[in-house]
Chains A and B, each alone.
Chain A
Amino acid sequence: MASNEITMPKLSDTMEEGKIIRWLKRPGDAVARGEALADVETDKADMVLEAFEDGVLGEIKLKEGESAPVGAVIAVMKGAGEAAPASREKPAAEAQSAGDGARIEADAEAEDTPAPEGPEFHPAMGANLAAGATAMARPPRLAAVKSQAEPAPRTDEPKLKASPLARRAAEEAGIDLAQVRGTGPDGRITKRDLDSYVREQQMFRVRRLVSPDKGAPGSHEELSRMRKTIANRMAASKREIPHFYVTVEIDMEEAVRLKSSLEQSELFDQDITYNDIIVKGTALALGRYPRINSSYENDGITIRPQINIGVAVAVEDGLIVPVIKDCGRLSLPEIARKSHLLVGKAAHGGFTTDELSGATFTISNMGMLGIEHFAAVINPPQAAILAVSAIKDRPVVREGKLAVGKTMMVTLSCDHRIVDGVVAGRFLQELKRFLENPATLLVQI
Chain B
Amino acid sequence: MAGLKYDLAVIGSGPGGYVAAIRASQLKMKVAVVERDRPGGVCLNWGCIPSKALLDSAETMESIRGAGKEHGIQTGEVSVDFKRVIARSREAADKLARGVLFLFRKNKIDYFEANATVSSPHTITLAQAEGKKAPAAAAIEAERILIATGSGERLFPGMTPGDGLLTSREALVYDRLPESVIVIGAGAVGLEFGYFYRAFGAGVTIVELEKQMLPGFDAEIAEELRRAFVKRGTTVMLGHAYKSIARRDGRLAVTIEAVAGGAAQTIEAEVVLVAVGRRPLSPGMGLEKIGAEVERGGFIKIDDSFQTTCRGVYAIGDVVRPPLLAHKASAEGIAAVEIMAGVRQPGFDLLSIAGCIYCQPEVATVGLSEAEARAQGIEVKVGKIPFRAIGKAVATNRVEGFVKIVAGRQYREVLGCQIIGHGATDLISEVVLGRTLEATTAEFGKTVHPHPTLSEAIMEAALAAQDEAIIV
Contact = CB atoms under 8 A, between A and B. Distances in A.
A306 B377 contact: yes
Question: Which interface class (under 10, 10 to 19, 20 to 34, 35 or more) fits B?
Answer: 10 to 19
**Most chain A beta-carbon contacts within 10 A, residue among B412, B438, B439, B440:** B438
Contacts of B412: 168
B440 A164 contact: yes
B442 interface: yes
A166 B438 contact: yes
Nearest to B435: A165
Given A172-B410, A357-B410, A164 B379 contact: no
A169 B467 CA distance: 20
SS of B interface (majority): loop
A358 B438 contact: no
A186 to B, nearest CB: 13
A164 B345 contact: no
B411 interface: yes
Nearest to B434: A164
Given A165-B411, A304-B379, A357-B410, A190 B438 contact: yes
Interface in B420-472: 437-440, 442-443, 467
A164 B443 contact: yes
B439 A163 contact: yes
B332 interface: no
B413 interface: yes
A283 to B, nearest CB: 15
Contacts of A325: 377
Nearest to B466: A298
B437 A164 contact: yes
Contacts of A163: 437-439
Interface in A275-310: 298, 304-306
A298 B412 CA distance: 16
Contacts of A326: 377
A166 to B, nearest CB: 6
A164 B443 CA distance: 8
Interface residues of A, number: 18
B285 to A, nearest CB: 35
A443 B410 CA distance: 31
Given A304-B379, A326-B377, A358-B379, A168 B437 contact: no
A208 interface: no
Contacts of A358: 379, 410
A382 to B, nearest CB: 13
Nearest to B440: A164
A298 B467 contact: yes
Nearest to B444: A164
Contacts of A168: 411-413, 440
Nearest to A360: B379
A191 B438 CA distance: 8
Contact of B411 (A172, A183, A190, A298): A172
Interface string B219-256: 00000000000000000000000000000000000000
A191 B379 CA distance: 18
Interface string A308-329: 0000000000000000011000
A428 B111 CA distance: 76
B373 to A, nearest CB: 12
Contacts of A304: 379
B439 A165 contact: yes
Given A304-B379, A305-B379, A358-B379, A164 B442 contact: yes
Interface in B385-425: 410-413
Interface string B357-379: 00000000000000000000101
B413 A165 contact: yes
Contact of B379 (A165, A172, A183, A306): A306
Nearest to A166: B438
A164 B438 contact: yes
A163 B440 CA distance: 9
Contact of A164 (B377, B439, B467): B439
Contacts of B377: 306, 325-326
A358 B378 CA distance: 10
A261 B377 CA distance: 33
A304 B409 CA distance: 10
Contacts of A169: 411
A306 B379 CA distance: 8
B410 A165 contact: no
**Most chain B beta-carbon contacts within 10 A, residue among A163, A166, A172, A191:** A163
A304 B379 CA distance: 9
A208 to B, nearest CB: 29
A104 B411 CA distance: 47
Contacts of A357: 410
A306 B411 CA distance: 16
Interface in A356-414: 357-358
Contacts of B437: 163-164
Contacts of B413: 165, 168, 191
B345 A165 contact: no
Nearest to B467: A298
Interface string A138-165: 0000000000000000000000000111
A142 B411 CA distance: 44
Contacts of B467: 298
Contacts of B345: 183
A305 B442 CA distance: 23
A306 B375 CA distance: 12
A326 B378 CA distance: 10
A164 B411 CA distance: 9
Nearest to B446: A164
Interface in B131-170: none
A389 to B, nearest CB: 31
Contacts of A164: 437-440, 442-443
28 contacts: A163-B437, A163-B438, A163-B439, A164-B438, A164-B439, A164-B442, A164-B443, A165-B438, A165-B440, A166-B438, A168-B411, A168-B412, A168-B413, A169-B411, A172-B410, A172-B411, A183-B345, A190-B438, A191-B413, A191-B438, A304-B379, A305-B379, A306-B377, A306-B379, A325-B377, A326-B377, A358-B379, A358-B410
Interface of B: 345, 377, 379, 410-413, 437-440, 442-443, 467
Interface of A: 163-166, 168-169, 172, 183, 190-191, 298, 304-306, 325-326, 357-358
- Nearest first, the 10 closest Cβ-Cβ pairs linking A and B are A163-B438, A165-B438, A165-B413, A168-B411, A164-B440, A164-B439, A164-B443, A358-B410, A169-B411, A165-B411
